[in-house]
């Protein structure tokens, strides 16, 4: 489903400020939305957290965002820092004699009885240091109570973080956002990096290594923050060129060599050039091109349901039409799953990689809390460190063909780091084909003729992807012929 994309968490245009359905507040009463299973992106099972929630995990999220500078430090942390400057280590103020105070009323605060006071002795105010510590403990306790609350400031910080990481900027902390928070704290040099088949290293330290190697011309593939076989091969190549043992492990010696070249080799996008060259080498023919088609929902996951229209069923029908149209035009098409299952995004990406697909097209519908939200949008892999050039080109072509051949509102294309787009080794896109909560879009999506038009538009976009610029026809005019040998009898 759709997502927010500007700095305030909204999509382009007021009518498009709709959150991703996997982590949205409950929409209109007439809409039934099945939430994805926690951990549906291949992460641990977690509870979805949003504005107004109260949970110990909220304090962890707040601390992570503070460390990443998306939130200011808590006041008691600033006071502790100031106190540390006033009282350096080894010069603490003297503590009062007797048992330590608890910091609670009656346990050492002014006006309460003090432990250890002799009976019949006039009650005396505690020393200045004790009053300072008690007040600081009480302030910290209050701030801890606030830290457990998912307030408006945290909501804004979460949205800003999500926007910076290419996630759905809906302010809701789900599996993808937790995953991104964990990855963001990694810095190159914090740990030894190497290729592990079953449990690959993932994080910003891996992305930083990939970026440096790519800038120097080594082929790491996509800068996705996942230490895979291509990253290992590029690292071994770098080590060999620097007269290091080519063991594929990024340790202190390799980091030192990378540091030497940090200021001499920067910029450039060799990954874009390689991806574009591979595309041109295939030529304009579609024969043998393998396309993985991913129906967004299935099995016990119906997606959005509005009246008699169910996202799972509509997308399954559309996927079947697209598969048939691709096959009839000479391509090889594979559905990543059947109608009775709904694997998570990691499994879908794995299946696409296993069949050696050249392209992946994931099909979804959208929904919003307002019936005025409408339109079609397309997504490709991309973040601040780079993007899939061919994926962006395909998403742009699909978007243009759909808008040209239908009357759907153009919600444009956007770069995202969703697991399906990130973990596939081929150019991959996801298209959200209208809002079932909008009467106009719902009426169109319910029409078999409309779904045929959508399939034809996607096929035309795939064909245009392989055409050289001088042969590329105007948008909306290409008709891909059906091969005589593959026409249904």
DSSP 2-62: ----STTS--SSGGG----GGG-----TTEEEPPPPTTTTSS-----B-TT-B-HHHHHHH
pLDDT at 276 (0 to 100): 73
Contact 177, 113 (CB under 8 A): no
Contact 35, 1 (CB under 8 A): no
Residue 385, SS3 per DSSP: coil
Residue intervals of the chain classified under CATH 3.40.630.40 are 283-486
Which one is predicted more confidently, 45 or 467? 467
Q: What is the mean pLDDT of residues 449-462?
A: 97
Q: What is the mean pLDDT of residues 403-411?
A: 96
Q: What is the mean pLDDT of residues 78-100?
A: 42
pLDDT at 312 (0 to 100): 94
pLDDT digit string, tens, across residues 241-293: 999 999 999 999 999 999 988 766 555 666 677 777 777 777 788 888 999 99
Distance CA 416, CA 5 (A): 10
Here the tokens at position 280 are 């041109």
Specify the pTM.
0.75
Distance CA 272, CA 258 (A): 22
186: Cα separation from own chain's centroid? 16
287: Cα separation from own chain's centroid? 34
Share of the chain above pLDDT 70, in %: 73
Using 50, 70 and 90 to split pLDDT, how confident is the model at 102?
very low
Tell whether the model's pLDDT for residue 75 goes beyond 80: no
Share of the chain above pLDDT 90, in %: 58
Distance CA 20, CA 5 (A): 11
Using 50, 70 and 90 to split pLDDT, how confident is the model at 484?
low
Buried b (16+ CB within 10 A) or exposed e, 125-154: ebeeebbebbeebeebeeeeebbebbbeeb
Which alpha helices (DSSP H) does 68-151 contain, by range?
75-86, 128-147
- Name 293's bridge partners: 335, 361
| CB-count exposure of residue 35 (10 Å: 0-12, 13-18, 19+) | middle
Distance CA 169, CA 487 (A): 45
Other CB atoms within 10 A of residue 381 CB: 27
pLDDT at 282 (0 to 100): 77
pLDDT at 67 (0 to 100): 92
- Name 289's bridge partners: none
Q: What is the mean pLDDT of residues 431-455?
A: 96
Contact 183, 225 (CB under 8 A): yes
Tell whether the model's pLDDT for residue 417 goes beyond 60: yes
Distance CA 11, CA 21 (A): 14
- Find where tokens 């307002």 sit: 370
Residue intervals of the chain classified under CATH 1.10.101.10 are 204-268
Using 50, 70 and 90 to split pLDDT, how confident is the model at 89?
very low
Tell whether the model's pLDDT for residue 104 goes beyond 70: no
Tell whether the model's pLDDT for residue 215 goes beyond 70: yes
State how far the alpha carbon of 234 is from the alpha carbons of 211, 215, 409, in Å: 11, 12, 43
Report which of 231, 342, 353, 345 is spatially closest to residue 290, judged by C-alpha positions: 353
Query: In CATH, which of 3.40.190.10, 3.40.630.40, 1.20.120.140, 3.30.470.20 is domain 283-486?
Result: 3.40.630.40
Angle between helices 175-184 and 152-164 (to 10 degrees): 70
In degrees and rounded to multiples of 5, residue 318 shows phi and psi of -65, -40
Per mean pLDDT, which of 33-37, 121-125, 207-211, 483-487 is the most reliable? 207-211
What is the chain's length?
489
Ranking 19-33, 48-62, 158-172 by mean pLDDT, the lowest is: 19-33
pLDDT digit string, tens, across residues 119-145: 454 555 566 666 556 656 555 555 666
Report which of 105, 140, 115, 110 is spatially closest to residue 128, judged by C-alpha positions: 110
Range 53-80+128-185 has CATH code 1.10.101: yes
204-268 adopts what CATH topology?
Answer: Muramoyl-pentapeptide Carboxypeptidase; domain 1 (1.10.101)
pLDDT digit string, tens, across residues 318-376: 999 999 999 999 999 999 999 889 999 999 999 999 999 999 999 999 999 899 999 99
What is the average pLDDT score of the chain? Answer: 80
Tell whether the model's pLDDT for residue 95 goes beyond 80: no
Tell whether the model's pLDDT for residue 465 goes beyond 60: yes
DSSP-assigned letters across all residues of 174-220: -HHHHHHHHHHT--TTSS-B---SSS--BSHHHHHHHHHHHHTT---
Tell whether the model's pLDDT for residue 387 goes beyond 60: yes
Contact 16, 375 (CB under 8 A): yes
| CB-count exposure of residue 407 (10 Å: 0-12, 13-18, 19+) | exposed
Using 50, 70 and 90 to split pLDDT, how confident is the model at 112?
very low
Angle between helices 448-465 and 311-328 (to 10 degrees): 50
Report which of 119, 123, 120, 102 is spatially closest to residue 111, judged by C-alpha positions: 123
Q: What is the mean pLDDT of residues 414-439?
A: 95
Distance CA 320, CA 312 (A): 12
């Amino acid at each position: 489903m759709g997502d927010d994309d500007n700095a305030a968490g909204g999509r382009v245009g007021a009518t498009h400020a709709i959150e991703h359905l996997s982590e949205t507040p409950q929409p209109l009463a007439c809409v039934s939305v099945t939430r994805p299973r926690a951990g549906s992106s291949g992460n641990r099972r977690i509870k979805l957290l949003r504005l107004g929630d109260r949970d110990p995990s909220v304090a962890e999220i707040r601390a992570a965002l503070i460390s990443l500078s998306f939130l200011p430090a808590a006041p008691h942390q600033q006071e502790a820092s100031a106190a540390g400057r006033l009282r350096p280590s080894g010069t603490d103020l003297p503590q009062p004699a007797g048992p330590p105070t608890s910091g609670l009323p009656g346990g050492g605060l002014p006006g309460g009885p003090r432990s250890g006071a002799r009976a019949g002795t006039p009650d005396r105010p505690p020393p200045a240091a004790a009053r300072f510590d008690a007040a600081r403990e009480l302030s910290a306790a209050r701030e801890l109570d606030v830290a457990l609350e998912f307030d408006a400031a945290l909501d804004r910080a979460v949205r800003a973080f999500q926007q910076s990481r290419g996630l759905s900027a809906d302010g809701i902390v789900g599996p993808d956002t937790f995953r991104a928070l964990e990855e963001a704290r990694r810095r190159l040099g914090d740990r030894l990096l190497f290729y592990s088949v079953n449990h690959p290293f993932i994080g910003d330290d891996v992305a930083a290594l990939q970026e440096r190697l790519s800038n120097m011309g080594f082929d790491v593939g996509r800068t996705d923050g996942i230490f895979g076989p291509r990253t290992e091969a590029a690292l071994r190549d770098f080590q060999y060129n620097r007269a290091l043992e080519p063991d594929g492990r990024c340790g202190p010696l390799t980091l030192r060599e990378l540091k030497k070249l940090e200021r001499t080799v920067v910029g450039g996008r060799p990954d874009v050039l390689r991806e574009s060259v591979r595309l041109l080498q295939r030529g304009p023919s579609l024969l043998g091109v393998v396309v993985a088609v991913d129906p967004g929902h299935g099995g016990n996951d119906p997606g959005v349901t509005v009246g008699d229209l169910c996202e799972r069923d509509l997308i399954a029908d559309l996927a079947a039409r697209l598969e048939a149209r691709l096959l009839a035009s000479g391509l090889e098409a594979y559905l990543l799953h059947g109608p009775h299952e709904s694997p998570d995004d990691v499994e879908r990406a794995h299946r696409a990689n296993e069949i050696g697909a050249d392209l992946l097209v994931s099909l979804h519908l959208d929904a919003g809390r307002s019936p005025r939200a409408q339109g079609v949008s397309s997504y490709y892999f991309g973040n601040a460190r780079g993007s899939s050039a061919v994926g962006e080109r395909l998403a742009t072509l699909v978007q243009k063909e759909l808008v040209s051949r239908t009357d759907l509102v153009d919600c444009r294309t956007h770069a995202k780091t969703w697991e399906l787009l990130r973990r596939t080794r081929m150019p991959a896109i996801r298209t959200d084909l209208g809002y079932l909560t909008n009467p106009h879009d719902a009426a169109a999506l319910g029409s078999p003729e409309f779904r045929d038009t959508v399939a034809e538009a996607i096929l035309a976009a795939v064909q245009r992807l392989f055409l050289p610029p001088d042969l590329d026809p105007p948008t909306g005019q290409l008709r891909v012929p059906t091969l005589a040998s593959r026409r249904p009898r």
